[in-house]
């Protein structure tokens, strides 16, 4: 799957094509993981209630479950990227994310504060920060980086492609708004059918949207690191080849 152009820029169509391919391969696994994490969480939170100390505990459980799900989706995409299929068991996926939960949560908090502050200021700074750090979490999980190192890595990978990444986000938002609009119209005329359609579409689209950030990470990494590797190999060939002799093939 090649989602990059010869110009050195991100290929938006390639990103969506790669996401669709991976989505078809891992849809079932993503939803098994999601159900294992979200259903027990919902039950526990409902039993704890919303007020006082128990409410705070419930909120913490939700934060942990959300971070665990984010990390698990990244691991699933990583598995598919490595050999084209989902080979890890659900237990292996969840277990591989467990040591990174604290880092994922801290990263999400830092990003939320900084991006939120940027949005409050003039909106545009928040959007720019979102584009800079859109692949920070995949960088943290896949490359085993710390919170701030993953943010720096994301900046490095996204630099030069912010406008293209913005278009990816706009396309997703437009598609989502279109679905909500269709569902809203159906709910107005046929409430039960509209509600069912919204639920089905949500179930189908949520994994797709969750996968896109990790696909972006891999496509950007291939784009940036692939060029670096090619340059490095060229330098090595030049250094090890005798003058006047053709390089070894």
Can you give the pLDDT at residue 64?
94
**Stretch (H or E) spanning 180:** helix 162-189
pTM of the model: 0.79
Residue 8 confidence (pLDDT): 64
- Among residues of the chain, what percentage have pLDDT more than 70? 87
Q: Would you put residue 160 in left (φ > 0), alpha (ψ -120 to 50) or beta?
A: left
- Euclidean distance between CA atoms 192 and 182, whole angstroms: 14
- State yes or no: pLDDT of 94 exceeds 90: yes
Confidence of residue 232 (pLDDT cuts 50, 70, 90): very low
Q: How many angstroms separate the CA atoms of 144 and 74, rounded?
A: 12
List the chain domain ranges.
Answer: 12-98+161-232
Model confidence pLDDT, tens digit, residues 97-145: 999 999 999 999 999 999 999 888 877 888 899 999 999 999 999 999 9
| Model pLDDT, residue 105 | 96
**Arithmetic mean of pLDDT, 199-213:** 82
- Better pLDDT: 156 or 195: 156
């Amino acid at each position: 799957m090649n989602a990059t152009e010869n110009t050195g820029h991100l290929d938006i169509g390639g990103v969506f094509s790669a996401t669709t391919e991976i989505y078809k391969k891992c849809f079932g696994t993503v939803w098994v993981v999601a159900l294992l994490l979200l259903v027990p969480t919902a039950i526990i939170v409902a039993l704890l209630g919303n007020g006082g100390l128990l409410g705070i505990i419930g909120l913490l459980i939700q934060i942990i479950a959300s971070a665990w799900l984010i990390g698990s989706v990244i691991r699933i995409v990583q598995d598919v990227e490595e050999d084209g299929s989902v080979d890890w068991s659900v237990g292996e996926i969840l277990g591989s994310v467990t040591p990174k939960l604290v880092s994922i949560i801290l990263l999400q908090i830092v990003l939320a504060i900084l991006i939120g502050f940027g949005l409050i200021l003039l909106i545009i700074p928040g959007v720019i920060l979102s584009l800079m750090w859109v692949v920070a979490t995949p960088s943290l999980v896949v490359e085993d980086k710390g919170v701030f190192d993953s943010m720096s890595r994301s900046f490095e990978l996204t630099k030069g492609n912010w406008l293209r990444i913005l278009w990816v986000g706009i396309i997703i938002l437009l598609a989502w708004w279109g679905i909500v609009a269709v569902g809203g119209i159906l709910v107005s005329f046929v409430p039960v059918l509209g509600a069912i359609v919204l639920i089905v579409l949500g179930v189908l689209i949520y994994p797709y949207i969750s996968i896109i950030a990790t696909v972006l990470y891999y496509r950007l990494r291939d784009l940036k690191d692939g060029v670096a590797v090619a340059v490095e190999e060229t330098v090595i060939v030049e250094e090890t080849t005798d003058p006047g002799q053709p390089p070894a093939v």
